[in-house]
Amino acid sequence: MTSKLKIQSLESLREEMTAVAKGLRPAPPDAHVPSFNSLETVARLLTKENRQLLSLIRDRKPQSVAELAQLSGRSQPNLTRTLNKLEAVGFVAMRLHGRQKAPTAVISKLTIEINPYSENDTLRLKQNAKPIIA
């Protein structure tokens, strides 16, 4: 399964939302799709540390955020903030495992499509056929 994320400047998003709110045009079909304001934003999210974290989630399948904190050596508050960001863009999903939340790897591949003539770039996320559920 593949899903798509948008690259859209904040100014462009603001103009789009204002026009839709004023009834000047209908909402675009991809209005529900999460967006980044630049490719640089995506790059900042996919740091070496965060990519290592995604690998730990995929390979070790931690049963809780506390277990992932122990595996990664990161503090739990820092880890929770990072997981919230990764979940918001669809890179991980948080599942209930007993009474605790456990992160689950959701994507298997990220493809960036760059339009060299505009800011209409896209990200395609190839999701795991079956989400890895602990």
pTM of the model: 0.72
What is the spatial distance between Cα 8 and Cα 5, in angstroms, rounded to a whole number? 10
What is the spatial distance between Cα 5 and Cα 41, in angstroms, rounded to a whole number? 13
Tokens 């000047």 belong to 24
Per-residue pLDDT tens for 66-100? Answer: 999 999 999 999 999 999 999 988 889 999 888 89
User: 105, 57 in Cβ contact below 8 A?
Assistant: yes
Write down the domain spans for the chain.
2-7+39-127
Higher pLDDT, 60 or 131: 60
Per-residue pLDDT tens for 37-70? Answer: 777 888 888 899 999 999 999 999 999 999 999 9
Domain 2-7+39-127 has what CATH class?
mainly alpha
Q: Are strands 122-127 and 107-113 parallel, antiparallel or unpaired?
A: antiparallel
Closest among 44, 34, 39 to 6, alpha carbons compared: 34
Closest among 44, 41, 16, 46 to 31, alpha carbons compared: 16
